[in-house]
Structure 1
Amino acid sequence: MDHSLLILFGSETGCAQDVAENLARQARRRHFKTKVVAMDDYDKSQFVEEKLVFFICSTTGQGAEPANMKKFWRFLLRKNLPNDILSDLDCAVLGLGDSSYRKFNYPSKKLYKRLLQLGANMIVDRGDCDDQHYLGLDGAFAPWAKNLWDVVLEKYPTTKPLIPDDVLLPPSFKMEFISDGQAQPQTTLAGEFNLVVQKNERITAADHFQDVRHIELTCTDEDFKYEPGDIAVITPQNLVQDVDLFFEQLGWTEHADKLIRFTPFDEFHTLPAHWPSTMTFRDLFVYFLDVFGVPRRSFFEMLAYFTTDENHTERLREFASPEGQEDMWAYCARPRRHIGEVLFDFKPFDIPFDYMLDLFPQLQPRSFSIASSLNVHPQSMELCVAVVKYKTKMRKIRRGVFTKWMSTWKEGDVVPRVRIAKGTMTLPPSADIPLIAIGPGTGVAPMRSFLEERIVEQGATQNILLFGCRYHDKDFYFADQWKEYEQNGQLVLLTAFSRDQEGKVYVQDKIRQHSELLWDLIENQQAKIVLSGSLDKMPGEVAYAFKQTFMKEGGLDALEAENYFSDMIKSGQYQEECWN
């Protein structure tokens, strides 16, 4: 019997990929010939030939599918596909998401439904992993995977015994040190652009707790294009000095400048397309491996094979178990311990170089709303990004991997392999339709792209910006630009400076204060509302303020106001893009 298995994942931050790799290890212990690949990297022409496929799908934005499954999803939606084309396919779907979002696991639910429409045989019910579960994603993943294997092994039996969990599987790649040749650069793939830094300026007061940067980047490539509301996707790098300290801690300093090459151990593993064929050992950790991020469960699971202290091995396996998630959270996630610190705590260990890519996760791209209009700033892209820096319960200062690197950018530096992705918000279809833009904090970034396009390029004059921050004099981003638009009669500016008076004032309070104006624009002129900012409580509070406005100014009861708001979302009259 054929024991080939394909695991396709759609992943934005690497979480779904990590779960897919976890499931692949479980499959290999059951003697399945397993290949793991991002949906958009898979050769779709082979899909109808597959017999057994598992789909692992995360959620991004407000219920959108991850960037690396968009092409595959469009392929499945083709109207010319017969409704029985997948009748020979056994498959299972697992979704990863956060139930605090309105469209919890929306992509996996749509994927599950579409596969059924095409005749696929679902061997188990769809799984729904939830970040809000007290055990995290494992709360749903562990029981779902157990049930999945019970069903799969009944349909695809094997006489070979299960490989026990305490037996280390072969590595995915062989890493060898080579004596000749030279390090190669990363490959810039189609749809990726190298941008040059023109400005990296702090735009918060020197005495303000938060360092927010206004960044200007340029690109002369004629294919470089973006629309208002689009997103810049950038993969971070680790700082060389941090990597050198990491090597010193692990005793790897002598290898830093040696050339290395990876070779897959079998046909089921391939290197990422942008990786060079040869690189230095240091380059591997500067450009590709995430050793300063907070590790996932799979890291503890793999590290347990390499510790030489039995007590450490036992502790690591506890962290890797579903039952040990609270302990792992207390040890790692709450104090934000990064991989380097975990390794220090679990010395001594012996990590074979062949397991580099199995142990250490890859650096994952970050997404940022573009804060400029390309028509207003030709060949340029601007960002408004807050530097992540905070103290943990360990009293240690933590810095975000991306913004630590971004803080070092200076004029002339090249930011490689930037990709443009579609956002979830768009301009009104006509310049005559009013725009109500709500962007507290760095949520103002996409609002700047919308307003520049409407005011400078389209000549639109019915624009309202609701902006919120802490202090007028410390973190009022792009204040001069907004005031110029206001003076020219192109913008109504409604500001909420939460700490400038005794009682806190937020953007939702401004909505209630100006309810008559906003209701007239929404009801009588079909004004479009766009909202961006931190997920937290803000989006819900803003939605509630609008529902109150509908009741007060429109005379609607609570149910009617709720339905009115829902209709605005369905029609695209109300769009939001918020993040954790």
Structure 2
Amino acid sequence: MNSPFNQEQAELLNRLLPTLTESQRVWLSGYLTASLAVSSSAAPAAAIMQEAPAAEIPAASSGQTISKEVTILYGSQTGNAQGLANKAGKTLEGYGFQVTVSSMSDFKPNNLKKVQNLLIVVSTHGEGEPPDNALSFHEFLHGRRAPKLDDLRFSVLSLGDSSYEFFCETGKEFDKRLEELGGERIAPRVDCDLDFEEPAAKWIESVRNGLSEAQAAVVAAAPSAKTTAAAGETVYSRKNPFHAEVLENLNLNGRGSNKETRHLEISLEGSGLTYQPGDALGIYPQNDPELVDKLIQALNWNPDETVTVNKEGDVLSLRDAFTSHYEITVLTKPLMEKIAQLTGIDKLHELIGSGNGEKLKEYIKGRDLLDVVQDFGPFGVSQQEFLNQLRKMPPRLYSIASSLSANPDEVHLTIGAVRYHSNGRDRNGVCSILCAERLEPGATLPVYIQPNQNFRLPENPDTPIIMVGPGTGIAPFRSFLQEREEAGTEGKSWLFFGDQHFVTDFLYQTELQKWLKDGVLTKLDVAFSRDSEEKVYVQHRMLEHSKELFEWLEQGASFYVCGDKTNMARDVHNTLIDIIEKEGQMSREKAEAYVAEMKKQKRYHRDVY
């Protein structure tokens, strides 16, 4: 009662204050500070709240203005980082911030000095490389032209895959470099593995709290209604996949082929899911039951024993948990370290600690969890302790091979079956062999749509397109051509397709030839590597038509590549530079600059894996 309030006010405050959450206290503190700053105005309190400038709020202590503007830059190859950047933006907008979300490739680096609050959401591609749309910004920030950023506050969300040696490397590099340039962290960097939803949500919350606490005057308005679904409506997503019925499952390869490529047609009826050409479909697969049984037998456990599989306390039998919930076919260094620490087995510790890590890297390659149990078990730990070390089953992403306009309520996929022999055992791809051997029409798959804004048809339908897609890389280009056929687009299109044999491996041959005849497809060049003594690939066909290909580029054509990153995409990229250098009569440096400019203009797109 020892306060400037009367008894009624004090009683009200004493009832209210103990019930407030931390964010509500921050809001109230900020609101009162803002009110005092404009106390010279005769406006009532409600009007003060409405009329205070949205972009600037007076700081509590110094009287200086602190920007409520937040810039979120993303570098994304498959769309995950972009999706999280947009989610963070919507969350912060719901709390009164002015947010700009942009691809790093669209952001002008010279504007970095003007930014006070910067959030970076970036994936790591391949062996520690930035994604394509982050390359130029990454290069600028690590170059000599990078400015001092003493007024910058930042935080980094890094996406990666711990099965790669340079896990989340790009995010780590951004985080370190921004600190070196003088920036101060709003919240610590968070590194996410394939199962990124929960740590990403925590990062967004910590960033929001960090911004709010620093400014002490954030207007914590209720989250925008735009971000919430209509009452009673189920929204399907990565976290809540739709169980879609399989309508067709066909082998596209002819008899005698060395390959098996499945064409899946899947129903989206009743899901509300939509997609655009260039997007991907995420599938949560199940492990091979035979491999699961061998693993449980090697562990000498009861398959019917129940275990808890998540923080919500959901319980499954051990067999079901291994089948649908945990990844058991991929080994990573972090997993090996966890198992070694849990079991205390000397041989495991020796393998992990040996030399420069090459022995561990060699052991991990081509092996799975069953190998570890057979080579180092028995472990003498409980089922629950062991399962707690494992990664959740990550979804598999596949480029969509259909247009929603041409196939309402359906999505089509082109999936190559992965089979190989390693370390004395036959091995299978988890999802591809599920689709090839155990998935009949009528069965269901848990699926969701993964948007890919970096692999879109040109906005102008008259823009020529050049598509390079050998093997299953043809998938998104089938969707492009279906979409253009439905829209009656007149822009030119050129497809380079390759595989092993013309007779058995010419995927979607009938459709392609019909599109060629009807003018939907302007040019088609094919390369079948095993039909001649000397192997011929798509890049060789590009070279054969180098003059015309360069003419298309000069006419403003967009260039697309889909398929294998390690060899094909690299060879196609180098061949493209060769063609520009030759036909444009340029130096190598100028030809590379030409390609860099194509990327900047969003005329060079890659969907590689």
TM-score (norm 1): 0.68
Tell me what 2:198 maps to. Answer: none
CA contact (8 A) 2:499 2:528 kept: yes
> Cα distance, 1:508 vs. partner?
1.5
1:285 maps to which of 291, 307, 322: 322
> Cα distance, 1:453 vs. partner?
0.6
Tell me what 2:435 maps to. Answer: 406
Q: Which amino acid aligns with 2:338?
A: M
Q: Once the two structures are superposed, what CA deviation does each residue of 1:407-450 show, in whole Å capped at 9, x if it has no partner?
A: 21100000014333325211011222111111111111111111
Distance 1:570 1:474, change over 3 A: same
Q: Measure, in 2, the Cα distance between the counterparts of 1:126 and 1:481.
A: 43
Q: Measure, in 1, the Cα distance between the counterparts of 2:416 and 2:504.
A: 14
CA contact (8 A) 1:203 1:212 kept: yes
What SS does the aligned partner of 1:416 have? strand
Q: Which amino acid aligns with 2:554?
A: E
Tell me what 1:240 maps to. Answer: 289
2:571 maps to which of 538, 541, 556: 541
Tell me what 2:212 maps to. Answer: none
Q: Which amino acid aligns with 1:329?
A: K
**Larger Rg over CA atoms:** 2
2:538 maps to which of 489, 507, 519: 507
Structure 1: tracts of 5 or more residues without a match:
1-56, 148-186, 264-269
Tell me what 1:25 maps to. Answer: none
Q: Are 1:257 and 2:308 matched, yes or no?
A: no
Q: Measure, in 2, the Cα distance between the counterparts of 1:128 and 1:221.
A: 32
| 1:263-412 alignment runs, 5 A limit | 270-271=311-312, 277-291=314-328, 293-307=329-343, 313-321=345-353, 323=355, 325-333=357-365, 336-392=366-422, 394-407=423-436, 408-412=438-442
> Cα distance, 1:350 vs. partner?
1.2
What SS does the aligned partner of 1:496 have? strand
Q: Once the two structures are superposed, what CA deviation does each residue of 1:268-290 show, in whole Å capped at 9, x if it has no partner?
A: xx45xxxx733333222111111
Tell me what 1:460 maps to. Answer: 490
User: What RMSD over aligned residues (CA atoms) do the two structures have, in Å?
Assistant: 4.1
Tell me what 1:39 maps to. Answer: none
CA contact (8 A) 1:105 1:128 kept: no
Tell me what 2:27 maps to. Answer: none
Tell me what 1:157 maps to. Answer: none
Q: Once the two structures are superposed, what CA deviation does each residue of 1:491-544 show, in whole Å capped at 9, x if it has no partner?
A: 2111111221222222122222222322222213x1111111101232233233
Q: Measure, in 1, the Cα distance between the counterparts of 2:262 and 2:151.
A: 48
Q: Which amino acid aligns with 1:493?
A: L
Q: Which amino acid aligns with 1:314?
A: D
Percent identity between the two aligned chains? 26
1:61 maps to which of 67, 73, 77: 77
What SS does the aligned partner of 2:501 have? coil
> Cα distance, 1:322 vs. partner?
7.7
CA contact (8 A) 1:99 1:132 kept: no
CA contact (8 A) 1:97 1:128 kept: no
When structure 1 is superposed on structure 2, of 201-210 and 548-557 the one drifting more is 548-557
Tell me what 1:494 maps to. Answer: 525
Q: Measure, in 2, the Cα distance between the counterparts of 1:511 and 1:505.
A: 11
> Cα distance, 1:348 vs. partner?
2.3
Q: Which amino acid aligns with 1:319?
A: L
Q: Which amino acid aligns with 1:61?
A: Q
Q: Measure, in 1, the Cα distance between the counterparts of 2:458 and 2:466.
A: 10
TM-score (norm 2): 0.65
Q: Are 1:224 and 2:264 matched, yes or no?
A: no
Q: Measure, in 2, the Cα distance between the counterparts of 1:433 and 1:94.
A: 30
Distance 1:279 1:140, change over 3 A: closer
Q: Measure, in 2, the Cα distance between the counterparts of 1:217 and 1:481.
A: 19
| 1:166-185 alignment runs, 5 A limit | none
> Cα distance, 1:85 vs. partner?
6.2
Q: Once the two structures are superposed, what CA deviation does each residue of 1:31-62 show, in whole Å capped at 9, x if it has no partner?
A: xxxxxxxxxxxxxxxxxxxxxxxxxx997637
Q: Which amino acid aligns with 1:315?
A: K
Distance 1:117 1:366, change over 3 A: farther
Task: Considering fraction of residues, name the structure with more helix.
Answer: 2
Tell me what 1:183 maps to. Answer: none
CA contact (8 A) 2:236 2:242 kept: yes
Q: Which amino acid aligns with 2:352?
A: A
Aligned pairs, how many? Answer: 452
| 1:70-149 alignment runs, 5 A limit | 71-72=87-88, 79=98, 96-98=124-126, 101=129, 103=131, 106=134, 119-120=152-153, 136-137=165-166
Q: Which amino acid aligns with 1:277?
A: D
Structure 2: tracts of 5 or more residues without a match:
1-72, 101-113, 177-234
Q: Which amino acid aligns with 1:224?
A: L
Q: Measure, in 2, the Cα distance between the counterparts of 1:94 and 1:463.
A: 32
> Cα distance, 1:575 vs. partner?
1.1
Q: Measure, in 1, the Cα distance between the counterparts of 2:420 and 2:443.
A: 26
Q: Once the two structures are superposed, what CA deviation does each residue of 1:251-283 show, in whole Å capped at 9, x if it has no partner?
A: 223xx33554468xxxxxx45xxxx73333322
Q: Once the two structures are superposed, what CA deviation does each residue of 1:343-380 show, in whole Å capped at 9, x if it has no partner?
A: 12112221223414432221111111001111111111
Q: Which amino acid aligns with 1:252?
A: W
> Cα distance, 1:317 vs. partner?
1.6
Tell me what 1:516 maps to. Answer: 547
Q: Are 1:559 and 2:589 matched, yes or no?
A: yes
Q: Measure, in 2, the Cα distance between the counterparts of 1:126 and 1:83.
A: 18
> Cα distance, 1:489 vs. partner?
2.7
Tell me what 1:475 maps to. Answer: 505
Q: Measure, in 2, the Cα distance between the counterparts of 1:235 and 1:282.
A: 17
Q: Measure, in 1, the Cα distance between the counterparts of 2:159 and 2:482.
A: 40
Q: Once the two structures are superposed, what CA deviation does each residue of 1:207-258 show, in whole Å capped at 9, x if it has no partner?
A: 22221111111111251210000011112211334323322222223xx335
2:514 maps to which of 480, 484, 492: 484
What SS does the aligned partner of 1:544 have? helix
Distance 1:96 1:531, change over 3 A: closer
Q: Measure, in 2, the Cα distance between the counterparts of 1:556 and 1:94.
A: 34
Q: Which amino acid aligns with 1:196?
A: E
